[in-house]
Structure 1
Amino acid sequence: MSTEPETTEQPGPETPDGATEDGAVEEGVAEGGTTEGGAADAGMTEGATADAGDGAGTGAEGGSGAQLSEAEAELAAQRLERERIERRKAERKGPVEAGAKLSGKAADLLAAVRAVESGQKPVAAVFDEPAPRRPAPEAVQRPQPAPQPVAPAAVPAESVDEVRRVLTDGGAPDSLAPQAAATLGEGAGEQLRADPWQLLRIGGVRPEQADGFARALLGTEAGPDDERRGRALTGWLLEQAALAGHTALEMRALTAALAQRGVPDADAAVQNAVAEGEALVFQDALDPRAPEPEENDEEGAERPVRLLVGLERYALAEESLADGLARLINSVPKEDGSAQEWERAAEAAKGSTAELIRATAGNGLVLHTGGEASLAEPAALLRTAHALGLRAWAATHTPLGRERFTRLLSGTEGPGNPTPGGPTPDDATGGSSVTDGSDALPVATVAGLLAGAEGPGRDADGALDLDLLVVLDAPQLDVETAALLAESLPDGARLVLAGDPAVLWSAGPGRVFADLLVARVCPQIASRLPDPGPLGELVSGIGVGELNQVEAPGKEVVIVPVRDAGEAVHRTVQLVADSVPRALGVPAEQTQVITPGHGGAVGTRALNAALKERLNPGPGRFGGFDPGDRVAYSPAPGRTVPGQVVKADADGLHLSCAGLSVVVPKERVEQCVRHGWAVTAHQAVGSRWPAVVAVLPGDAAQALSRPWVYTAFSRADRHLSVVHGVDQALPRAVSEIPAKPRTTRLPVLLATQLPTAG
């Protein structure tokens, strides 16, 4: 590594903010930790803003044409798809299995859910009877025709006015009225007046604010032991856990968090939430493959289990995902191309590429791991599949990733822009370019594929009209998106999930790729193609917990030490606007700044303000934006697309995002758009730039982890500058701080569905 010698004194001390990057949450939900991807600010806000909505940056298409409603239509389509899955589940002969051999409180809680849902018993009477044994679910049915995207219905003005009156009476900002009316649905005003803690269902509202609202409406009736409060806090804590990546919480963690929030009887609060159908309870074996105790075993002998509580939304998605993956694993892949043809293609390839082709030939699900250079192997697989007559597509996490893989597939670019003498796609695979008779190669974004805006479309049964789907950036799949993908694939299709397991996990709940690697239910192919050059050597070391000094004769890696926040901002602007363009020939528009959080003296807000002043000064007449500004556009919570402001007029803010025109109405600009010269590592996942400036200010030391450093540093193709102000916190993060654990159920569900896999 090189060290840039120049330093510049700047006035003003460093101002620690404590703001962390998307996904970096306080330790344990009991501490009330929230993610930047959906966290509330200290004050009561008008729901999700751009600060919350861009979240961990799961980028995808931002919509096209002159209609912003396409993004809303995409969300509506996904909601309809989830409703379809729920209907299919309800049509089964038996209910969805939530755990077997429940006993004690677990049985009581589970019985409460089903008894109340069926209407057989009132809430107060259901806790004294054990839950019946539940039959195993039937096999997943073929997907039904995909629903057409429909824009969400507008909330009636009278409903919003009613909610506004209730909010005013309770001393809450009336600006929350539209979101509250949309979230609570019909009779929202009456619901809020009868149960003021329903305000916690509104994004950005915190328990202390809901408590104050309840006291204003209910007076002395509002107390910490109110059943409505305990039930609402249970749901809120589970939502916060989802923001931190969990699909469920252990019962002990949930009750501890409720107690910390002043709920006197946490067990009763959970029971009430379960009885009302606002949460589900599960009992999962710690070792799902261990045999069940025999009837003649010693009395009291039981398999070790853990008791979990989760929201129905994520429980349903996780179970649907397990069903869909089990269906693919158990189905026989379509015989497109004979076994001899597959084998000849494998023999023509080399190393792990040949292994990937052979594994895909005979399996419905295959996992492929590796860094940037390993993308050459899925590209070779896609070429092979097309040569054998398969309808094969690839899907990426972001539009930038789609463009990059398209160039790789066509043979015009190698991953990582390898230096002369480094591996190229043809060196690694012996493959050739794919041509499909059109200008567009078979590469889409995951969001575009599911929304029907990209990809092959769907067949008469509603399944994606393809035989092979290669999903790149697979660690970014959250459980809901992965479930939609699995449910959308026809019987006999092959699914290859490829990605770098060392990067940050998904913005949404779940850790699908990591869970599948642990579950070992399908072939796993590890690429043996190393990322080339000094950057590849640096990132590979970080992946195994070592921060090594590397020789960088071409200034591929430069360390810029700083002493305080002001100097960090100054040096960052200097690098982007002057040093990198002058020394390396990389223009400012191709240099991306990555920092751990949005807040703080060196967060994205502060850096973007300084970069705008230097690179594109202007009055910011339209919501703080001017033509030419780089932006990060969030068409939906947790998704980010890089773009540029084109103009602003009466229709809204006109953006160019990945070559597509997007118009953001004025009332949505604050929610959906932020400046994009500086982003967080989560927002940067799935994209790469010729040059990256990674900013590590002193107040970010607690936010650093090995996955964060690996992700930020590996976004650079040719050059990485590290603005370094965290001293020994950086090597300590790399060597000692792995990814924060997430509580999920997918491995247990897969082990139940595939008892002989392994």
Structure 2
Amino acid sequence: MSTEPETTEDAEPGTPTGGAEPEETEQAKEGAADAGQVSEAEAELRAQQAERERIEQRKAEKAPIESGTKLSGKAADLLAAVRAVEGGEKPSATVFEEPAPAPRRPAQPVRRPQPVPSAETSAASSAPAPEAVQAVGRVLGEGGAPETLAPQVTEALGESADERLRADPWQLLRVAGVRPEQADGFARALLGSECAPDDERRGRAVTVWLLEQAALAGHTALEMPALLAALAQRGVPEPDGAVQDALAEGDALVFQDALEETGAPAPAQQSDAEQDDSEEDDSEDEGRPVRVLVGLERYALAEESLADGLARLVNSAPKQDGSAEEWERAAAAKGSAGELLRAVAGHGLVLHTGGEASLAEPAALLTAAHSLGLRAWAAAHGPIGRNRFAALLRSGPDGAADEDHSPVATVSGLLAGLEGPGRDAEGALDLDLLVVLDAPQLDVETAALLTESLPDGARLVLAGDPAVLWSVGPGRVFADLLAARICPQIASRRPDPGPLGELVSGIGVGELNQVEAPGKEVVIVPVRDAGEAVHRAVQLVVDSVPRAIGVPAEETQVITPGHGGAVGTRALNTALKERLNPGPGRFGGFDPGDRIVYSPVPGRALPGRVVKADAEGLHLSCEGEAVVVPKERVEQSVRHGWALTAHQAVGSRWPAVVVVLPGDAAQALSRPWVYTAFGRADRHLSVVHGVEQALPRAVAEVPAKPRTTRLPVLLAPQVDGG
């Protein structure tokens, strides 16, 4: 690995950096609502809503599940509260628990999500009434809260939001970005002397808020001890009662999951109820550890729906398109590409792992499937990944794509019906084989909608690099499936080539190696402080990389750990705009030609450029697709895009990448982050390095942050039965 800078120009020292904002939290919050005139994002949101309504109806049709585990103490109180709810004493809440080990679940037909309604109909029906917004604004004003929050509050609480807010001021926590201390101040202003820390309304609202914050961090549920401790830290006097109230009102669901003896957590991680139970349980399950979890209904039901959909794929025979001999002839290619074809021939669900070079294998699969007459499609995380895979298909000897028709879509476009084959009369996707690329980016809700949208007999291949950052949304679907081992797993043996491939492969196994880079494929640029880091990054993009590597500035991407701080995306984008496209920012800070990233919904980042601005809004071009963002949505959904975070960049690649690691970034670094950021480069990687030994330490010692999910437990019966 070369360590000399690409230029001998000295940098002027700058000011020390401030604390960088965590990337995941900022990325999860931005783009909270889609632009009203952008049909793709609107359709995606409607499709997700249709899925939630479908699984909620299925939940209502299910009979209550009786507990098979004896509990006492806190857990028993919680379960008793929920059973009282089920008996009609209060609004319904549901208890989920682990099913007993059993043979594999039979494949059952499912009610498909129906095609989404038109954008005009949805927009008209979802917009809150102006009088409702005005009424909420008056209540907010009385409580000293910004009246500009009125549309968000009305959307979150419904048409009677003003009445709900007066009856329970802590409902303000339902609005994204509001914190408990702010809701407390609002409640004191409205309630006066009646406002107290032990108000059960506060405890219930803070419980829900904590579960929502956990979802932003990737968890689909929280273990009971962790939730109780967090409530105590937030000044809730009786955490047990707060959780019981949330369960009784149907704001959250409680689960009890029996764990394998070998994988049981240490006693300190178990609740008091679990420890008490171990002394009383004389049944055949004596000594088996149990964990109690609490989660929000939408993610709990999505995870259960996903488990059912995966079970259907695993246990149903795939549609017999092509004879065994034809599949074998198609799989005659040597190596893991042939293994992938053989696995897909006989199974409804297959996992495929590998780096960028391994995409040749799903491409070979798609080409072979088309030759056998299958309706086969691929779906990528974003438009850059979609276009790259389409180009890969066209470049093959028997390409499955041409300039006019490419069987590749984005996941969001596929689900919204704006890309892909469309849906049949029953609401299922009109295809026989779906290959999902960038599978680690699937959160539980998106994965559930995808699986339930597949017709009976279809095949699903989830392909991706398990070492990259996980999804922005809750869950770790791909990692959980790899661990469950309920279906064939094909690991590609195609390494990414060259010095960049060698460097990234080493990071994946925890080693930051020096690599030989005779063509300056990898260059390290050491810096002392924040000002020098910004100066060097701009210099690399504007001058050094175009001159020494031949990659123009518009094809070079800067990646940094966070949005805030002296070397976050905001500071870097300001500096890069001054050099590459100076202008007054006459439309919300943007000018024609500005490089941007557009986030129509949380977790999605579409790189593009500003075309123009007029009365309709900000006109963008995102990978050749025209997008219009209304003026009122620009601030929350569009950012400058010369510099991105690694989460925004995942699923995309550029000819050249400049990764900026300022001194205050050390705490944000992990092996998945470094792997993802360094792996976005095709030809050249420059690392503006100011973290010293924190970088190799992060690669060697800091794995992905753990996430609490229930998918492994829900899939466990299939492992036991398999």
Partner of 2:19: 17
**What residue ranges of structure 1 are gaps of 5+ in the alignment?**
23-34, 40-48, 54-61, 412-425
Aligned residue among 257, 265, 274 for 2:230: 257
Structure 2 counterparts to residues 512-527 of structure 1, below 5 A:
512-527=477-492
Partner of 1:410: 394
Q: CA deviation at 1:113?
A: 3.4
Aligned residue among 698, 703, 706 for 1:741: 706
Flag the 1:303–1:207 CA change in 2: closer, same or farther, 3 A. Answer: same
Q: CA deviation at 1:120?
A: 1.5
Aligned residue among 326, 345, 363 for 1:379: 363
Partner of 1:109: 78
**Is the 1:109–1:271 Cα contact (8 Å) retained in structure 2?**
yes
Q: CA deviation at 1:86?
A: 1.8
**Is the 2:97–2:256 Cα contact (8 Å) retained in structure 1?**
no
**CA-based RMSD:** 2.5
Q: CA deviation at 1:115?
A: 3.8
Q: CA deviation at 1:140?
A: 5.4
- For 1:36, what is the secondary structure of its paired residue? helix
Whichever residue aligns with residue 432 of structure 1, its letter is D
**Is the 1:643–1:655 Cα contact (8 Å) retained in structure 2?**
yes
Aligned residue among 182, 202, 207 for 2:155: 182
Partner of 1:8: 10
Partner of 2:684: 719
- For 2:243, what is the secondary structure of its paired residue? helix
Whichever residue aligns with residue 89 of structure 1, its letter is K
Determine whether 1:80 maps to 2:50.
Answer: yes
Partner of 1:654: 619
Whichever residue aligns with residue 550 of structure 1, its letter is V
Determine whether 1:708 maps to 2:673.
Answer: yes
Aligned residue among 364, 371, 382 for 1:398: 382
Q: CA deviation at 1:133?
A: 12
Partner of 2:295: 310
Aligned residue among 117, 134, 142 for 1:148: 117
Q: CA deviation at 1:84?
A: 2.0
Q: CA deviation at 1:11?
A: 4.2
Q: CA deviation at 1:131?
A: 11
Partner of 1:245: 218
Aligned residue among 336, 344, 350 for 1:360: 344
Determine whether 1:533 maps to 2:498.
Answer: yes
Q: CA deviation at 1:755?
A: 3.0
- For 2:151, what is the secondary structure of its paired residue? helix
C-alpha deviations, 1:563-610, integer Å up to 9, x for none? 000000000000000100011110100000000000000000000000
C-alpha deviations, 1:18-61, integer Å up to 9, x for none? 42222xxxxxxxxxxxx22345xxxxxxxxx55x78xxxxxxxx
Q: Provide the rounded CA distance (Å) in 2 between the counterparts of 1:141 and 1:451.
A: 19
**Is the 2:96–2:254 Cα contact (8 Å) retained in structure 1?**
no
Flag the 1:312–1:122 CA change in 2: closer, same or farther, 3 A. Answer: closer
Partner of 1:416: none
Partner of 1:42: none
C-alpha deviations, 1:160-194, integer Å up to 9, x for none? 11111111111111110111011100210111111
Aligned residue among 414, 420, 425 for 1:460: 425
Q: Provide the rounded CA distance (Å) in 2 between the counterparts of 1:748 and 1:280.
A: 16
Q: Provide the rounded CA distance (Å) in 2 between the counterparts of 1:132 and 1:667.
A: 45
**Is the 1:397–1:445 Cα contact (8 Å) retained in structure 2?**
yes
Partner of 1:30: none
**Is the 1:247–1:510 Cα contact (8 Å) retained in structure 2?**
yes
Partner of 2:399: 433
Partner of 2:270: none
Partner of 1:37: 27
Q: Provide the rounded CA distance (Å) in 1 between the counterparts of 2:168 and 2:708.
A: 30
Q: CA deviation at 1:76?
A: 2.1
Q: Provide the rounded CA distance (Å) in 2 between the counterparts of 1:467 and 1:120.
A: 45
**Is the 1:444–1:454 Cα contact (8 Å) retained in structure 2?**
yes
Q: Provide the rounded CA distance (Å) in 1 between the counterparts of 2:42 and 2:503.
A: 41
TM-score normalised per structure 2: 0.92
**What residue ranges of structure 2 are gaps of 5+ in the alignment?**
264-277
User: How many pairs were matched up?
Assistant: 696
**Is the 1:8–1:567 Cα contact (8 Å) retained in structure 2?**
no
Flag the 1:258–1:297 CA change in 2: closer, same or farther, 3 A. Answer: closer
Structure whose residues are more often helix by fraction: 2
**Is the 1:98–1:281 Cα contact (8 Å) retained in structure 2?**
no
**Is the 1:16–1:698 Cα contact (8 Å) retained in structure 2?**
no
C-alpha deviations, 1:597-654, integer Å up to 9, x for none? 0000000000000000000000000000000000000111221100100000111111
C-alpha deviations, 1:396-430, integer Å up to 9, x for none? 0010000000000111xxxxxxxxxxxxxx6xxxx
Flag the 1:469–1:710 CA change in 2: closer, same or farther, 3 A. Answer: same
- For 2:619, what is the secondary structure of its paired residue? strand
**Is the 2:595–2:642 Cα contact (8 Å) retained in structure 1?**
yes
Whichever residue aligns with residue 650 of structure 1, its letter is A
Q: Provide the rounded CA distance (Å) in 1 between the counterparts of 2:2 and 2:525.
A: 9
Structure 2 counterparts to residues 202-217 of structure 1, below 5 A:
202-217=175-190
Q: Provide the rounded CA distance (Å) in 1 between the counterparts of 2:488 and 2:284.
A: 40
Flag the 1:435–1:157 CA change in 2: closer, same or farther, 3 A. Answer: closer
Partner of 1:551: 516
**Is the 2:304–2:714 Cα contact (8 Å) retained in structure 1?**
yes
Q: CA deviation at 1:684?
A: 0.3
Partner of 2:275: none
**Is the 1:470–1:496 Cα contact (8 Å) retained in structure 2?**
yes
Flag the 1:609–1:507 CA change in 2: closer, same or farther, 3 A. Answer: same
- Identical pairs, percent: 75
Aligned residue among 300, 313, 318 for 1:328: 313
Determine whether 1:279 maps to 2:225.
Answer: no
Q: CA deviation at 1:111?
A: 4.5
Structure 2 counterparts to residues 571-582 of structure 1, below 5 A:
571-582=536-547
Flag the 1:409–1:113 CA change in 2: closer, same or farther, 3 A. Answer: same
Partner of 1:56: none
Determine whether 1:343 maps to 2:331.
Answer: no
Q: Provide the rounded CA distance (Å) in 2 between the counterparts of 1:110 and 1:277.
A: 13
- For 1:337, what is the secondary structure of its paired residue? coil
- For 2:126, what is the secondary structure of its paired residue? coil
Partner of 2:651: 686
Determine whether 1:630 maps to 2:632.
Answer: no
**Is the 2:302–2:445 Cα contact (8 Å) retained in structure 1?**
yes
- For 1:599, what is the secondary structure of its paired residue? coil
Structure 2 counterparts to residues 123-138 of structure 1, below 5 A:
none
Flag the 1:335–1:134 CA change in 2: closer, same or farther, 3 A. Answer: closer
Q: Provide the rounded CA distance (Å) in 1 between the counterparts of 2:644 and 2:509.
A: 25
Q: Provide the rounded CA distance (Å) in 1 between the counterparts of 2:298 and 2:394.
A: 40
Q: CA deviation at 1:298?
A: 6.2
- For 1:141, what is the secondary structure of its paired residue? coil
**Is the 1:142–1:491 Cα contact (8 Å) retained in structure 2?**
no
- For 2:720, what is the secondary structure of its paired residue? coil
Partner of 2:531: 566
Whichever residue aligns with residue 17 of structure 1, its letter is G
Q: CA deviation at 1:535?
A: 0.1
Partner of 1:664: 629
**Is the 1:539–1:710 Cα contact (8 Å) retained in structure 2?**
yes
- For 1:37, what is the secondary structure of its paired residue? helix
Whichever residue aligns with residue 80 of structure 1, its letter is A
Q: Provide the rounded CA distance (Å) in 2 between the counterparts of 1:403 and 1:316.
A: 33
Q: Provide the rounded CA distance (Å) in 2 between the counterparts of 1:7 and 1:119.
A: 76
